[in-house]
Structure 1
Amino acid sequence: MNWADNPRLNTWLASQEAAFPAWSSETGQQWDFSVDSLDRLEQLLRERFAGWDELLAAEDEPVVTVPAWYLGEVQNRNCGTSWYRNPVVPTHPDQPKTPFVQLPEDPEAGYEDDVPPGSNPFTEIRGLFVREDGRRLRDVVSRYP
C-alpha cells in the first residue's frame, strides 16, 4: 500500500488545489505559501469558527479542507515534507482518517522511533480551538530538523 501516491490521496489533493482559487478569492487575501502567511490563516480560522463544534461540523467542507491543504502545502514547500494518506478507508480508530504531511523516510536521520517528523493539518487546525498554551499554526514548521 502506497500512502504517498494513491487514488484517495490524489483525488483529495486535486480537489483542494482546484478549490483553492475560489477560497483564496473569498478570503480577499493573497496566499503565498510562506510561513508568515500562517498567521493570517490562523486569524481567518479563528474569525470564521466560534469553536470546536462549529469547526468539526464543517470539517469536510472547503472552508476547512482548503485551509488544511494550504497548511500542509506550506510545510511541503518550506520544510521538505510530502503528503500521505491511507490508501483505504481506515477501519481502526487509531489509523489516520485525514491526509497528513511527513518528511521522507531516512534510516540515517535518527528519527525518534524511526518515524520521520510530520503533521496532520486537520489536527493542527482543530488544536486552535482547544489549545491554551500559546502555540500557533506557524509553530508547526519548527518540528522539522
Structure 2
Amino acid sequence: MSTGDENEWTGNPLLKQWLSERQDAFELWAAEAGGGWDFTMESVDRLEALIRSLFSSTGEIEAAQDTAFVQGACWYLGEVFARAHGMEWQQRPGGDPDDLPFVIQAGGTGGIGLDDEGEEEELAVLCPGDEILALFLRDDDNHLRDALEGWFS
C-alpha cells in the first residue's frame, strides 16, 4: 500500500468531516445516552442494551440512521474497537455518502493489507453502521462486542 492510497482512505474529506462532527458532538451524545461512556469493550454491552431499548427492528434504525443518536452510536462503537485494537478509521474514496465509515486493522485499505512477504492478506474490518443494523437481523445471541470475534484475543 502506498502512502497515497492510505491518504485517500484515511484522509477522505467525508470521513474527516464525519469524525470531527462526531467527536465534537460526543459529550452531548454521552450525556443524553446516560453518561459514563469510557471507550472500554465492556461499554459496548451497555451500548447494545441502549440500542435494543430504543429500537425494535432494522427498519426503525434505518429510519433514524441520520439522527445524532445513531450516528453517535456508530462512532462510539467504531472508536471502542479502534482504541482497543489499534484500528484506524477509513472510508472508501470517491465521495459517495452511502459509503459508510469503518475501522480496519492499521496498515491496510478496504480490508486488504500486505504480509511480511508482500502478499495480500485479509484484515479485520468493522463497519459500525452495518453492525448496529444487524442487531435485529441476527438472533439474540448476536452481540456488538463479538463483531470481530476470532480476530483479536
- Specify the alignment match of 2:147 in structure 1: 140
Unaligned stretches of 5+ residues in structure 2: none
Find the counterpart in structure 2 of residue 98 from structure 1. 100
- CA–CA distance in 2 between the matches of 1:43 and 1:35? 13
Does residue 25 of structure 2 align to residue 19 of structure 1? yes
Cα RMSD (Å) of the superposition? 2.2
Q: Aligned pairs, how many?
A: 140
Deviations for 1:58-103, whole angstroms, at most 9, x for unmatched residues? 1111111100000000011001110001232339xxxx71100100
CA contact under 8 A between 1:102 and 1:117: conserved in structure 2? yes
- Partners of 2:65 and 2:150 lie apart in 1 by 24
Q: Which residue of 1 aligns with 2:127?
A: 120
SS at match of 2:142: coil
TM-score, normalising length from structure 2?
0.82
Using the alignment, how far apart are the partners of 1:127 and 1:9 within structure 2?
A: 22
Letter of the structure 2 residue corresponding to residue 134 of structure 1: D
Q: Is residue 82–residue 103 contact of structure 2 (8 Å, CA) maintained in 1? A: yes
Instruction: Point out the structure with the larger strand share.
Output: 2
Could you list the runs of 5+ residues in structure 1 that have no partner in the other structure? Answer: none
Over the matched positions of the two proteins, sequence identity in percent amounts to 36
Instruction: Give the Cα separation in 2 of the matches to 1:124 and 1:143.
Output: 16
3-state DSSP of counterpart to 2:78: helix
CA–CA separation in structure 1 for the residues paired with 2:150 and 2:76: 17
Q: TM-score, normalised by structure 1?
A: 0.87
Q: Does 1:75 align with 2:75?
A: no
